Structure formats: structure tokens, C-alpha cells
Amino acid sequence: MTLNRRNFIGAGVVTAASLAAPMVLGAGKPRVVVIGGGPGGATAAKYIAKGSKGAIDVTLVEPSRTYYTCFFSNLYIGGFRTLSSIAHSYGTLASKYGVNVVHDWAVGIDRDAKTVTLAGGAALSYDRLVLSPGIDFVDGSVPGWDLTKQNKMPHAYKAGSQTELLKAQIEAMPQGGTFAMVAPPNPYRCPPGPYERISMVAHVLKEKNPTAKIIVADPKPKFSKMGLFQEGWADHYEGMIDWIGSDFGGDNVEVNADEMTVSIDGEVTKVDACNVIPGMKAGRICEMAGVTEGNWAPVNGHTMQSRIDENIHILGDSAAQGDMPKSGFAANSQAKVAAMAIRGALTGSKVFPAKFSNTCWSLIDTDNGVKVGATYEATDEKIAKIDGFISQTGEDADLRKATFEESVGWYAGITSDMFT
């Protein structure tokens, strides 16, 4: 498809009449429209509205009324959290900070007119636009799989019903059955996420189905916190997990959802549950806006402004920013930098140099938490890592328990920072 400055998703949804005479909502104050109510978008909407004390009109466009965090969704699979404990709503952003929350899809962006068209037909005009739509999947990334197969072979990489489905399928496996995961190629959301998930699946199976097997086909030769996970798998789930990296054919995979088979380097295995995590790209609205290069949307780390359109800021997983991993913590951190830059541009408030931080915690087994993290600064070229830390192999049980407890505190703190 040719990209131009006016592109629409699902042309059938937007009527010709609504395009000819768009109804433009909001007037007077500077206007910011935020697309996507995840860690990036919710934090940006809150911090722009809160920091400007009502001087900026902020509209958040998000189709779902309830946001389920992907972070801690693996713990739900493992039985350590309930689904309701990872659910958040947008009521406080509206009632406490005055954010105009619109539950709809953004289906088109006209960068010349500076308007966003919604599936419902309305158009929102903006002075600055924030895009934080997360990820979509790369078509054809795993041969045999597409979105029509997601009920038989769930991705569970957008949390909610997909996560519930995967958990139910794991729990319904026959005794001694086989669980397979097709892991994603780099770069993707949450580098340790697939491997924390394997740990949580193993935790469930060890209790309920101890003779079951887990196969992981991985297109990569190594992965985040690999030494820590492999040590944990050997100590806690001995003999259960067969990880097949690209050096052993893990990058040559095909699935058949009707037959429930996975072929790894030509060897076909019948499986009882299968988690396919395909290759990823920026949320599709970024492509529609014409702000992507390749799969991702390049940004300037000082302000998180698009390198293609300075009226647009792109946050979180969709952004090509440099050294930060695609994580909820990173999206939250980037959103605060963007909010400060937007307030500065629209109201003249003071802007400080951009600083970012991130930690990714993972749970291997009960009270056995590990972490990796870093701080970052913006350079003209990218968001650049300053220094980092990582849990060590061989740590004692008290330290691992403290790391897990730290992650529980982090979850409570960061979700409160985003949504309340």
C-alpha cells in the first residue's frame, strides 16, 4: 500500500459524508490527542493533563474499557495472580485529571489537517498527537499461523481473553501431554517475557501434570537472562523443558493449527497446547500515519518526537528509539519525557534533559524472582544506555524472594502511576 499523509484503516468504517465534513471536537486551548491507553498512552495523557493543570485539552482514544497489563499476565498463567488483579480502568484519568477518554478506534490520521478520524466517524483535531498503540504481528512470520488461528494456537501477547484461553488450554492438557511455544524473533515486546512464560507453564505442569513436556522453538541463538532461566529450569523443572535455538533448527518452524502439529527443522510433533508468538511491528495506526520506517517508528529520544513528523510523539513498543527494551516500564518512562516536552512546546513550561529507566523482573518459580535493568539518556542519535544491572546465577533464596517482592511493589506503584 502507498503511504501518504491521509490514510485510513478499514475505509468501509468511515463514511464519505464524515470525511467530507468532519465534525471537529474541542476548541480554544491547545489540544493533544493520545492514541492508545497502555503504559505509554495512559501515562502521557495523565502527565500532560496533570502537569498543565487544565491548560491543555487532552483526549485519550482507546477502544477497551478495561486494560489488562501484559506485565504480570504470565503470573496469572502460573496461578500467582488473578485476572482481575491485572485489570485497570480509565475512570480516574477522566475524573481526577480531566482527560477526555473516548472509547473508540483511531482509524485515520491526516497529518496536514492535524486530525484523527475515529471508527465512529468523528474527527479530533490536535496540536500534538501521541501514538502509543503497542504492537501488531508481522504477517507470515510463522508459516501456518495467522490471526484466524489464534484461538487454536494463542499468542497471548496482548493480555486479556488470549491469556485466559492459553491458561485454559494448558490446564486442559492430557497427562503426559506436550506444550509447545514458538518464540519470536528480535526485536519484540518484553525480551524475557516468553521465557518467564515457559517458567510459569512449567510451574503449573509440575503441579498438575508432572510427566508433561515443554518444547520451545526459538528463531534466536540466545535470549534475555538466558543463564538465569536455564539455571532455574534445571533446578526447578529438571527434564521438562527442551529449548531449541536457531543453532539447532529452532528458526525453521511451521505449525498446523487444525492438526495441532509443530514442525521444527522437518521433525513433526503432535502437541496438546501451542503458544505461537509471531514477529512484531509497530501498532498499525503508525503505518497508517506514515511515520514508520520498516517495522518501527523512529523517534528523537530528547522528546520522543517522530523523526518523520515533529507534531507526533511516539511511545513504547511502537517506537524505534535506541537501547531501551520494549517494556511497560520503558513506555511509562518515555511517556513522562514526552509529556514534559509537549507541555513545554504548548504552554512554555520548563523542559529538563531526558532521563529514562527500566527494570524487567521475571518469576522463575515461587518466590524466585530475577531482574535486569538499566538507566538511559537521550543523545542526538538515540536513547543510549548509561549503566545496567542483572541478577546473578547462584543467588540465595532470600535474595530471590526479595527480588520477587520488589517486583510486586513495582507493579502496584507503576500501575498506580499510569491509571490513578
Ligand X SMILES: Cc1cc2nc3c(=O)[nH]c(=O)nc-3n(C[C@H](O)[C@H](O)[C@H](O)COP(=O)(O)OP(=O)(O)OC[C@H]3O[C@@H](n4cnc5c(N)ncnc54)[C@H](O)[C@@H]3O)c2cc1C
- Classify 343 in phi/psi space as left (phi over 0), alpha (psi -120 to 50) or beta: alpha
Q: CB of residue 310 vs ligand X: minimum separation in angstroms?
A: 20
- Looking at beta carbons only, is 51 or 193 nearer to ligand X? 193
Q: Which of 38, 78, 279, 369 binds ligand X (CB under 6 A)?
A: 38
119 burial type by CB count under 10 A (0-12 exposed, 13-18 middle, 19+ buried): middle
Is the Cβ–Cβ distance between 264 and 215 less than 8 Å?
yes
CA distance 50 to 315: 19
Out of 105, 145, 179, 404, the residue judged to bind ligand X by CB under 6 A: 105
Cα separation of 71 and 69, whole Å? 5
* Binds ligand X by CB under 6 A, chosen from 52, 59, 74, 368: 74
Report, in Å, the least distance between residue 283 CB and ligand X. 5
Stretch that binds ligand X, among 185-193, 199-207, 267-275, 385-393 (CB under 6 A): 185-193
Binder of ligand X out of 32, 33, 48, 70 (CB under 6 A) = 70
Q: Is 108 near ligand X (CB under 6 A)? A: no
Question: In terms of CB distance, is 137 or 361 closer to ligand X?
Answer: 361
- Give me the least distance between CB of 194 and ligand X, in Å please: 8
Q: Identity (one letter) of the amino acid at 26?
A: G
Q: Is 61 in the site for ligand X (CB under 6 A)?
A: yes
| 381-420 residues labelled b (16+ CB within 10 A) or e (exposed) | ebbeeeeeeebeeebeeeebeebbeebbebbeebbebbbe
Residues in the chain: 420
Q: Is 419 in the site for ligand X (CB under 6 A)?
A: no
Q: Does 124 bind ligand X (CB under 6 A)?
A: no
Select the residue interacting with ligand X from 114, 152, 189, 225 (CB under 6 A).
Answer: 189
| Cβ closest to ligand X, residue 216 vs residue 331 | 331
Distance of CA 420 to the CA centre of its chain: 20
Angle, vertex CA 137, rays to CA 123 and CA 77, nearest 5: 105
278 binding ligand X? (CB under 6 A): no
Please list the alpha-helical segments (H only) found in 209-327.
226-236, 284-289
- 35 lies in the binding site for ligand X (CB under 6 A): yes
All three cell numbers of 163: 491469556
Q: Helix, strand or coil for residue 160?
A: coil
279 near ligand X, rule: CB under 6 A: no
What is the Cα 148 distance to its own chain's centre?
A: 21
Task: Encode burial over 173-205: b for 16+ CB neighbours within 10 A, e otherwise.
Answer: beeebbbbbbbbbeebbbbbbbbbbbbbbbbbb
- Per CB under 6 A, the segment of 131-139, 176-184, 303-311, 398-406 that binds ligand X is 131-139
Question: Which secondary-structure segment (H or E) carries 408?
Answer: helix 397-419
Among positions 139-158, residues that touch ligand X (CB under 6 A) are 157
Closest approach, Cβ 176 to ligand X, in A, equals 26
Q: Which one of the spans 188-196, 253-261, 347-355, 395-403 is the region binding ligand X (CB under 6 A)? A: 188-196
**Residues 333-392 close enough to bind ligand X by CB under 6 A:** 360-361
CB of 372 to ligand X, least distance (A): 11
Q: Can residue 244 be called a binding residue for ligand X (CB under 6 A)?
A: no
Binding site for ligand X (CB under 6 A): 35-41, 61-64, 67, 70-71, 73-74, 105-106, 132-134, 157, 189-190, 193, 197, 283, 285, 316-317, 326-329, 331, 360-361
